[in-house]
Amino acid sequence: MNPASLTDLAVAAAHDLGFDLVGVTAAGPAPDFGRFDDWLSGGHHGEMAYLAKRVAERADVRVWVPEARSLVLVGVSYFREILPAALRRDPARGQIAAYAWSDDYHEALKPLLFRLDAAIRAVSGRTTRGRVFIDTAPVLERSWAQAAGLGFVGKNTCLISPARGSWLFLAGLVVPEEMAERTSPSAQPGTCGRCTRCLDVCPTGALPKPYLLDARRCISYLTIEAKGAIPRELRPLMGNWIFGCDLCQDVCPWNRRFARPAQRAVLQVRPEMSAPLLLDLLAL
């Protein structure tokens, strides 16, 4: 099968499996790796030491997978309606970021990626599995997703799809087949323009300037990744967020206008996870 036909098959299979966005790009040096390297050098990753490991593999996917020739990038929407103000402002409740309102997305998406790989293998004749990645491998998913046309990186450092917004799980597949490069069918140009709503809304100053996230001040980092005590000066600024934070996405005009739920229910939402009562959590 020629590269273009193989891409056609992969894109169709990905949509059949429930992926909302699909793009294909050639393996090689990671796009925008220099920006990531500068971010690490500035210490903006905080205690996430794992991000500073396996740098050579992050810099070029072919170091991780020597036989790599193509990457298939996919996106799945996890858009949820913004919680009613009564829930968000209830001091008896703690807010949880929308991505965590469902079961573990790693476990939900991995089998689908292997099924996508199987569809490619069925026509290419390959007998070994491709390599999947869902933010646990040494791959810069966001940069590769931008290269594959799934969207653009916004000032809040999230990947924004002009057709879907930024409420996206990003994942992908590295394969040895040569495939024709293909952007997502819903891809279209997009920028943040002069908008700075995400920078302005961040209560802890985690976005000191456009396109720069200082994880050390990010509520998501402080409530999920940081191992020590939260700095005292940041505690009063965090509101009732107890696991993650969605503020910089909530205010994004792209999300306000274009975000919509996934085309298929790949992830089962658990409403009780959105804003649990704090006393209930203490009783666990």
Instruction: Count Cβ atoms within 10 A of the Cβ of residue 139 and give its class: 0-12 exposed, 13-18 middle, 19 or more buried.
Output: buried
Which tokens is 190 given?
């997009």
Please check whether residue 178 is in contact with residue 69, taking contact to mean a CB–CB distance below 8 angstroms. Answer: yes
DSSP string, 253-275: HHHHHH----SS--S-B-GGGSS
Query: What does the pLDDT average to over 238-251?
Result: 96
Question: Which residue in the block uniquely carries the two structure tokens 């792209």?
Answer: 254
Q: Is residue 114 part of a domain?
A: yes
* Six-digit token string for 29: 């040096």
Straight-line distance from the first to the last Cα atom of the chain, in angstroms, rounded to the nearest whole number: 55
Looking at this protein, which amino acid is placed at residue 255?
N
- Answer yes or no: are the C-beta atoms of 240 and 95 closer than 8 Å: yes
- C-alpha distances in Å from residue 116, one per residue of 12, 131, 262: 10, 11, 18
**Structural contact between residues 103 and 212, judged by C-beta atoms closer than 8 angstroms:** no
* Residue 111: strand, helix, or coil: helix
**How far from 61 is each of 25, 142, 216, 264, CA to CA, in Å?**
12, 14, 28, 30
Q: Which residues constitute the domain of residue 196?
A: 3-270
Residue 284 domain flag: no
CA separation for the pair 227, 221 (Å, rounded): 10
Q: Which helix (H) or strand (E) element contains residue 38?
A: helix 33-41
pLDDT at 182 > cutoff 90: no
Catalytic residues: 135
Helix (H), strand (E) at residue 11: helix 3-16
- For 194-206, how does the pLDDT look when each residue is reduced to its tens digit (9 = 90+)? 999 999 999 999 9
Structure tokens at 127: 């007998």
What is the structure's pLDDT at 265? 72
Residue 275 lies in a domain: no
Question: Residues of the chain with pLDDT > 90: what percent?
Answer: 82
Q: In whole angstroms, how far apart are CA 32 and each of 35, 36, 39, 60, 137?
A: 6, 7, 11, 11, 17
Is the pLDDT score of 244 beyond 70? yes
Tell me phi and psi for residue 225, to 5 degrees: -90, -40
Q: How many domains does the chain have?
A: 1
Kindly tell me if the per-residue pLDDT of 126 is higher than 70. Answer: yes
At residue 213, does pLDDT exceed 90?
yes
Statement: residue 58 has pLDDT above 90: yes
The answer to whether residue 282 sits within a structural domain is no
Of 71, 75, 68, nearest to 25 by C-alpha is 71
pTM over the 0.75 mark? yes
Question: Quick one: pLDDT at residue 187?
Answer: 55
Other Cβ atoms less than 10 A from the Cβ of 203: the count is: 15
